[in-house]
Amino acid sequence: MKRSSLSMLVAVTVFAAFFGSQARLNSQDAARKPVQEQLAALKASNAELLQKQQKTLQKLDELKLQADQLRITSKRS
């Protein structure tokens, strides 16, 4: 296959993949939403993430406490 034929095939494939996809670019979605709505959505997602992190930290603290108690009881045996 000639080099020009290969580059043309690649170009057509990239063109078809890019323009044939149904996905929208983030900039297109962002332009449609007012800034206040975007900030509210970010705030909500951040709050949800913080709650998940807090639950994870609590579980880790519980596991550490259980591990410490297990070490203490195993030393006594």
DSSP string, 8-32: HHHHHHHHHHHHH--PPPHHHHHHH
- Pairwise CA distance, residues 67 & 52, whole Å: 22
pLDDT: which is higher, 52 or 13: 52
8 A C-beta contact, residue 30 and residue 38: yes
Question: Which structural domain range is residue 66 located in?
Answer: 3-76
Distances in Å between the alpha carbon of 44 and those of 31, 38, 51?
20, 10, 11
Q: Quote the number of domains for the chain.
A: 1
The length of the chain is: 77
pLDDT tens column, 28-77: 665 677 999 999 999 999 999 999 999 999 999 999 999 999 998 888 76
